[in-house]
Amino acid sequence: MVLNAQRIATREKLILAGLYLSKYDSLGLRKLGFKGFKEAFNVVGYALGSQPASIKNYRDEFDPLFPNRRKGWHKRPMRGYCRKVLEKYKGLDFETFTGLVRSFVGYDENAWSAIQADEEQDEGESNFAKRLITGLAAEEYFVSVQPGLPEFGGYVLENTTRLGCGYDFRLRTGAQEDFLVVEVKGLRERNGSLSLTPKEHAVATALRDRFFLFVVKNFHEAPFHEIYRNPLSGGLQFRKSERTTVHVSWLASV
């Protein structure tokens, strides 16, 4: 079977994530770097632009088929579209299935490991879980709640995460000069530390009240958010941290 995550519909990805967590249970959690099922539901659910309950429901759908402590939805037949996904992917081995789930959010284990700092490789948690929490899962959480936030009422959202702007989202009204920007950060626990890159710090300094820091906390249990407008003005205490690194490049004459 040729696996291409880009050709898999979102609902099928959600079903596959539930199937993976049901079939491999705690082994699957550890492989992905999650501390528990709640965290897995929260992170994977939001990262795929859905709700955590969707992942849980699909896991429960498959639980009667596998040896675990949960009964799942054992009192009714499995839904037809879930059984179709099961039959299509039941031949995947553990490593291939793990790679498929990671690929749903554009994560390439081999590519990331090749450029990852040594101290990060030695951390006890999975890069997959960590990168989703601090990145895509937090960003998609913001997208899901933004329409109901009074701070951003009347603004149209633009995703700038891939543009290197020093923030993740730009919000505009009809007037070209009327805009706000939002940098999103995610934390696994209720409290923790976060950092701004030099570019993010420079943009926050320049834009002042137009710059918002949106922090999503507690992916481990139940995510909630805090919003800091003009975060460098005193709402948070940042200290400068410097580290010297060696950059190696490869040159060729052509």
pLDDT in tens, 162-209: 999 999 999 998 766 789 999 999 999 999 999 999 999 999 999 999
Could you tell me which residue, 123 or 34, shows the higher pLDDT?
34
Q: What is the DSSP string of 135-159?
A: THHHHHHHHHHGGG-GGGTTPEEEE
Same domain for 77 and 64? yes
Q: At which of 133, 168, 190 does a domain end?
A: 133
Could you tell me which residue, 166 or 249, shows the higher pLDDT?
166
**Above 70 in pLDDT, residue 1?**
no
Beta bridge partners of 212: 182, 229
Same domain for 85 and 151? no
**Above 80 in pLDDT, residue 106?**
no
pLDDT, one tens digit per residue, over 120-163 is 444 444 688 999 999 999 999 999 999 999 999 889 999 999 99
Q: At which of 133, 159, 183 does a domain end?
A: 133
Residue 206 lies inside a defined structural domain of this protein: yes
Residue 76 lies inside a defined structural domain of this protein: yes
Distance CA 168, CA 159 (A): 6
Backbone CA torsion sign across 182, 185, 190, 192: negative
Q: At 69, is the pLDDT very low, low, confident or very high (cuts 50, 70, 90)?
A: confident
**Above 60 in pLDDT, residue 113?**
no
Same domain for 73 and 175? no
The 3-state DSSP class for residue 217 equals strand
Same domain for 12 and 121? yes
Residue 107 confidence (pLDDT) = 61
Residue 120 confidence (pLDDT) = 47
Instruction: Name residue 45's amino acid.
Output: G
Residue 242 lies inside a defined structural domain of this protein: no
Residue 121 lies inside a defined structural domain of this protein: yes
- Indicate the number of domains in the chain: 2
Looking at residues 99-103, what average pLDDT do you find? Answer: 93
Same domain for 162 and 61? no
Q: What is the DSSP string of 63-121?
A: GGGS-SS---STTSPPPHHHHHHHHHHTT--HHHHHHHHHHTTT--HHHHHHHS-HHHH
Same domain for 36 and 95? yes
**Above 80 in pLDDT, residue 3?**
no
**Above 90 in pLDDT, residue 36?**
yes
**Above 90 in pLDDT, residue 99?**
yes
Domain range spanning residue 178?
Answer: 137-233
Residue 133 confidence (pLDDT) = 94
Q: CATH number, domain at 227?
A: 3.40.1350
Residue 31 lies inside a defined structural domain of this protein: yes
Q: Cα dist. 135→62, 206, 231 in Å?
A: 29, 24, 19
